[in-house]
Every structure is written in C-alpha cells, then in structure tokens.
Structure 1
Amino acid sequence: MAARQDRRSWRDVLEEIRNRVLTGRYGPGDKLPRDEDIAAELGCARSTVQRAMRDLADRGVVERRRKGGTRVRPDPVTRAVFDIPVARNEVESRGGSYGYQLIRAAIEETPPPVAAALDMRAPLPMLHVEALHLMNSRPFLYEDRWVLTRTVPEIETVDLGVVSANEWLLANKPYSRCDLRFSAETAGDRVAAIMGLEGGEALFVIERTTWSGDDPITTVKAVYAPGYHLRAEI
C-alpha cells in the first residue's frame, strides 16, 4: 500500500481536482469529498491531497474551512501563480548557457524609496548588490538588490562573486510574504551601458520584495534584456 501512495505527486492531485472543476463534475458551491477519501481514491497520502488543496485555495478555485470541509468557490477566481525564478535555472530552461558577473556589493545607507518598499520605519545600513546574469555570454538580467543584513546576517559571509544573491537567498532564506510589481521602463544611460544597449530601449522590469514574518529580507529590481517574455501558471 505504501508504494501505491507514492505514485501521485501533489501536482498530479491538483490537476485532477482542477480538471473535475473545469468539466463540471464539481460545480460552483459543491462540497468536495474528504481529503482522506480523495487520497484513497487517487492512491496517495492524505498530506499530498492537503498540499494540493492548499494550492487550489491560493489560486481561488476552492475554499477551505475548519470543520466545514472544502467547497468549490461559487465565484471561482483565476489567479496567476508566479514562482520567484533562480536566474541560472531560468536561463538553462531556455536552452542557454548561464553566466554571472558581480558588479558591486557594499554596505550602504538605505535610500528612502527602498526603505518604503520594505515597510521600514527608518533607514538602516543594508547590503547593496548589483549583478549581471548572462545567457550565452550576453546580458540577460540586470539585478539591483538591497538585503537587510539584520534579517540575513549569514549573507555577509557569502562570496557573491561566485554565487549570486538571487540564488543564495532562494536556497537559504525562506520568505513568508512577497510583493511583486511589473512594469516597463526606458533604459537609462547606466543600465544601457551595463547591458550593452542603446539608450531609450524599452525593458521589462520586475520589482520584488520579500519578508520573513514582519522582518524585511530583500527588495530587488530585476531588469530584463529586450525580447524577454514572462510565463505564468494559471
């Protein structure tokens, strides 16, 4: 029986339940079977079903209530799910060869806009990191990042010339809250020079801020080279 329960991942369960909602097997407002019943039907662990249901709830497909079970939302919400990418993985998933260059890393006083993004009451010294991620030896992503070392003191011992702050933080500092903003901006002279562009080109920008509880971790402005496209799972 244990071997049978390992056959399905939580993503498999998620897709099965979502398909049942899309096809009308579970209609708006319908109460779903108990997690343990779904687990028995699909041949997986109850914890696998619980993980899938949490994700479906985050996506606005179902709603879960203590002692009330799980129901399909009467007005299902479509939400895009964005995973914070590791630049190396993003480049390699596109079939490219990854490269990395550290431009600078220094402790600096936090500028007011950065302090505001992190909900800080007053500026504090932070680690300011600028880096360039490459695909096939060409600029792919320029990263302008601030890290609160009071929250993440271990990063001061990391050789950021070898491993990027992007990669290290995602592997070593889990976040509980994330704020994402998407925009387009015209390449200024400095960014254009770093990325080898002519000034005035339109670039895709993601501004991302993370916290651990109430403690700010990092805020980063990620500027992508022309031609970048974003993919999201819905």
Structure 2
Amino acid sequence: MSPESRLSWKDVRDQIHDAILSGRYGPGDRLPRDVDIADELNCARSTVQRAMQALSDSGIVERRRKGGTRVRPDPVTRATLDIPITRREVEQKGGRYGYQLIRRVEAVAPRGVLAACELTEPRTMLRVEALHLSDGRPYIFEDRWICLETVPEIGDVDLTGQNANEWLVQNKPYSRCDLRFYAVSADDSVADLLDAEPGAALFVIERTTWIDAAPITTVKAIATPGYQLLTRS
C-alpha cells in the first residue's frame, strides 16, 4: 500500500468500531496492541493511537497505561460530531454551494464573546459575518469571532473567496471544542438574511474551539428553517 493510500485515523477508528459492533470484540475484551493493529492495517502507529483516543473519548473503549485497551463492559453512548465544512455539507445533500462575505472587521470583542472564549481581559478580535448558500438560497448565517493572537495568519486570507469555516477546519486543528444547540426567534435582520418570517424558530449551533488554553474562534451558525443536523455514534 502506497503512503498516499494509507488509512486515515478515521478509517482506522471506523474499522475498529465495526469490529466491536459485529461482536468480534465483546464487552471487556482486550484489543490488540496499537503496534499490532498498525501492522495489520499497514498504517502508522500514531494513526492507531489517534483512532483509539477517539474511541475512548466516545466511551466505546477504555485505555490504561500498561493495561492496554479494552472494550468498555458498559459502553457510554455519546454522539460524535466533527466540525462540518458547510460547503461539503451542501454538496453532499446535492446542492450547489455559494458564499457571501457580509462583513469583516477587527473590533474589541463584547463580553459574551470573551466569556465564550474564557477570556477575562478585553481583546481585539476579527469578526466575520458570512452567508452560506445552497442552490442560490440562504442556508446558514455565520457570525464568527477569531482570536488574532492564536490565528494571526487569518489576516492574510482573502475571505471574500475562502470562507473562514473551511479555512479554519483545514488549517487550525483544535484540541478542545465546546458546543451548544438551541433555538432563537428570528429578528428582522436575521429573518431578512435567511429569507425567513420574523419570529420564526431558527436552529443555532454555537461552537468555540481552543488549542490547549488558547481560543481559536467562537461562532454562532444560524440555520434556515427546515435545517436538520445528523450525528452518528
């Protein structure tokens, strides 16, 4: 197998998870060593370790130093949600993706943004407001704040053609992510952006990411009426 065709950590995670679901490894069973799995799948040991960590974070296996990895006898069911790239999400649903940058400005972050990022001192951040489209119609309105101290290179990115969602997912991997889901009533400005009726119930995904203790970004993604979110465990 060439380096280009080697499995990703997600592929390895899914193969191990499938083996558990099929009964090949039952509750309490000890899994092969990371190095043995890497040899079997012809991938790097670090790839297996990343996959095992994901399974551990999902409550499917438990890892102990010098004790190996075992299938949890009482698996914790947790939904897993990778940060989506909105363009791919639209295209996977069969839509034609479009994007409009509404505003890009450096400003002192309001208290709510600082709190979301767990910051206590005033901070100038980059605010990016953008509209994602599907087949020419509003899909998601994104109100995002980006920490310039953590992501100074965002200043050189042309956000009129490259959306911040996709650029950050591809270029700024995170070590921690906080997610909140809730509904809001559309005010006049958001209703106009999303082609919705004022007062309509809209689904909001609020997400904040960090590299260690350094915040990367916090974003409120407000979806058009009828939006559905699917997670898999």
TM over 0.5: yes
Change in CA separation of 1:89 and 1:20 when aligned onto 2, cut-off 3 Å: closer
Q: How does 1:131-150 map to 2 (within 5 A)?
A: 131-150=130-149
Question: Residue 146 of structure 2 contacts residue 216 of structure 2 at CA under 8 Å; is this kept in 1?
Answer: yes
Change in CA separation of 1:75 and 1:105 when aligned onto 2, cut-off 3 Å: same
Q: What is the Cα deviation at residue 143 of structure 1?
A: 0.3
Aligned AA (1:197): A
Q: Which residue of 2 aligns with 1:93?
A: 92
Q: What is the Cα deviation at residue 100 of structure 1?
A: 0.7
Question: Residue 86 of structure 2 contacts residue 165 of structure 2 at CA under 8 Å; is this kept in 1?
Answer: yes
* Structure 1 length-normalised TM: 0.89
Change in CA separation of 1:154 and 1:35 when aligned onto 2, cut-off 3 Å: closer
1:196 aligns with 2:190: no
Q: What is the Cα deviation at residue 7 of structure 1?
A: 7.3
Q: How does 1:1-234 map to 2 (within 5 A)?
A: 10-39=9-38, 42-45=40-43, 47=45, 48-234=47-233
2:163, 2:8 → 1: CA distance?
31
Question: Residue 58 of structure 2 contacts residue 79 of structure 2 at CA under 8 Å; is this kept in 1?
Answer: yes
Deviations 1:123-161 (A, max 9, x none): 211111111010000000000011111111111122211
Larger deviation, residues 95-104 vs 27-36: 27-36
Question: Residue 131 of structure 1 contacts residue 144 of structure 1 at CA under 8 Å; is this kept in 2?
Answer: yes
Deviations 1:103-132 (A, max 9, x none): 111111111111000000112111111110
1:67, 1:176 → 2: CA distance?
24
2:41, 2:151 → 1: CA distance?
41
Aligned AA (1:150): E
1:12, 1:218 → 2: CA distance?
28
Change in CA separation of 1:108 and 1:46 when aligned onto 2, cut-off 3 Å: closer
Aligned AA (1:193): D
Over alpha carbons, which structure has the higher Rg? 1
Deviations 1:73-117 (A, max 9, x none): 122111111111111111111111111111111111111111000
2:7, 2:171 → 1: CA distance?
28
* Structure 2 length-normalised TM: 0.90
Name the SS for the 1:179 alignment partner: strand
Question: Residue 35 of structure 1 contacts residue 46 of structure 1 at CA under 8 Å; is this kept in 2?
Answer: no
1:10, 1:214 → 2: CA distance?
24
Question: Residue 132 of structure 1 contacts residue 139 of structure 1 at CA under 8 Å; is this kept in 2?
Answer: yes
2:33, 2:65 → 1: CA distance?
12
Output the aligned Cα RMSD.
Answer: 2.0
Name the SS for the 1:180 alignment partner: strand
Q: Structure 1: 5+ residue runs without aligned partners?
A: none
Q: What is the Cα deviation at residue 10 of structure 1?
A: 4.7
Name the SS for the 1:64 alignment partner: strand
2:151, 2:41 → 1: CA distance?
41
Name the SS for the 2:95 alignment partner: coil
